[in-house]
Amino acid sequence: MTTFDERLGYQFRDRGLLEQALCHRSAGKPNNERLEFLGDAVLGVIVSELLYRRFPSASEGELSRLRSQLVQRSTLAEIARELRMGDVLRLGMGELKSGGANRESILADALEALVSALYLDSGLAACTERVEHWLGARLQGLTAQESGKDAKTRLQEWLQARQRALPVYSVDSIAGQGHQQSFAVSCRVEGLSQPLTGSGSSRKEAEQKAAASALQLLESGGE
């Protein structure tokens, strides 16, 4: 469990909370359902405050759309995969055989349970620090006006507005098999000396990450 602690960037004082957060209902009781219930609310409060402070001029509707983007199931599952939670989840035999360790719904629920466990173990401030760290570039790359557009769309529009060539995406590598595949993708953009890379459990996810990195560099004036 030490390796997972390192990935979390946090050492639990109450190990029982962590163990419960990582136990799916298929593995028996106590499982993470109650923690998931609380974690959903805690995560909503944390993300709402982060957005409220980051976008002081955004309307309620814009803030709501941004929050939905950050706490949607696919985003939470993506963070869980980055933390490799599937490696440490306790699942029943049926879920194990059917690939439950990489199922989006199970991973998203487990991440909510983990947020709740952090909150109960150390309070809101420590929990907020970890959530903000996990959101990382996803939070940094948001704009209130473009909250409904994904990174590839925003990158394309940024380039088109400046009459520059569209980005070119290429798959660098595919590792693993079945539910455990990992894609590495490069995004080549006119004006950037080096391609930007992204990785994920699907080509689409990897392309979105590469596009987000490219857009962030372009907007900051980097080359």
For the annotated catalytic residues, the residue numbers are 40, 112
User: Residues 38, 95, 138, 184: what is their CA dihedral angle, to the nearest 10 degrees?
Assistant: 170
Classify each residue of 10-30 as buried b or exposed e, where b means 16 or more C-beta atoms within 10 Å of its C-beta: bebeeeebbbbbbbbbbbeee
Nearest to 56 by CA among 139, 128, 144, 136: 144
- In Å, how far are 96, 197, 202, 206 from 169, measured between CA atoms? 34, 9, 14, 10
Burial 57-66 (b: 16+ CB within 10 A, else e): ebeeebbebb
Q: How far apart are CA 7 and CA 1, in angstroms?
A: 10
